[in-house]
Structure 1
Amino acid sequence: MSLQSINRALVSHDLVQDLKWNADLRQEFEKDESSVLDRYDLTPAERTAIEERDFRTLYDLGFHPYLGAQFARILFANNKSGATSAVQHLLASIRQERVPDRSEASDA
């Protein structure tokens, strides 16, 4: 994963930026993720990776690493309480390991 391999055409970049800056959209995403994803012209691979929380695939598609960290925080609800759980999920996904549950991640 390098900055040269970033695919600037990925619509998932727009999704993450929108979620990052729009609290109403984040709330809607938490309640009905599928309907929010339907609004974005994601490739099937992007959508599946998002739904499965598969950051390794997103990065293989050319997802920007900075946005990956931001997205992990959004997905794993760590915007208020720190990023430990989000980072654990992100790293496990990249390494293609079992994702720790919340109690394991908070012990790290």
Structure 2
Amino acid sequence: MSLEHINRALVAHDLVQDLKWDAGLREEFVKDEAAVLDRYELTGAERIAIEERDFRTLYDLGFHPYLGAQFARILFASNTNGATSAVQHLLASIRGEPAPGRTETGGL
């Protein structure tokens, strides 16, 4: 992905920056993701991509690659595998593969 493709108007950028710097918001995001997302004027495509952890679609919309990596860490690095798990989830999404530990139907 080239940096020329970045859509600076994506509200998802603001969401990730806020999550990155605000521990309280991250905690709330874990407890009630929909309530946090409701506060941001995301496009329908942005919101669905976030809810589905679809980084490929986010990148296709113009999401900044640095923030994609940061978002993956926020979403997935809290488990026992840490950053390695976040990278695995990010790469699987970009490749269009099931998330690690999930079957094609989405079950664990």
CA contact (8 A) 1:10 1:42 kept: yes
Give the counterpart letter for 2:77 in structure 1: A
2:91 aligned partner, one-letter code? L
Please, which moves more after superposition, 76-85 or 47-56? Answer: 76-85
Q: Sort the Cα spacing of 1:80 and 1:11 in 2 relative to 1 into closer, same or farther, 3 A.
A: farther
Which residue identity does 2:20 align to in structure 1? K
| CA displacement at 1:91 relative to structure 2 | 0.2
Alpha-carbon separation, structure 1, partners of 2:79 and 2:24:
14
Q: Is 2:32 aligned against 1:32?
A: yes
Kept in 2, the 8 Å contact 1:10–1:63? The answer is: yes
Contact 2:77 2:84 in 1 (8 A): no
Runs of 4 or more, structure 1, over 2 Å off, are 77-82
Is 1:16 aligned to residue 24 of structure 2? no
| Contact 1:73–1:79 (8 Å) recurs in 2 | no
1:82 CA drift (Å): 3.5
Q: Cα RMSD between the aligned structures?
A: 1.7
Give the 3-state SS of the residue equivalent to 2:100 in structure 1.
Answer: coil
Partner of 1:84: 84
Q: Structure 1 residues 51 and 61, CA, compared in 2 at 3 Å: closer, same or farther?
A: same
Q: How far is 1:99 from its partner?
A: 1.0
Query: Is residue 61 of structure 1 aligned with residue 53 of structure 2?
Result: no
Segments of 5+ residues of structure 1 without an aligned counterpart are 103-108
Structure 2: gaps spanning 5 or more residues: 103-108
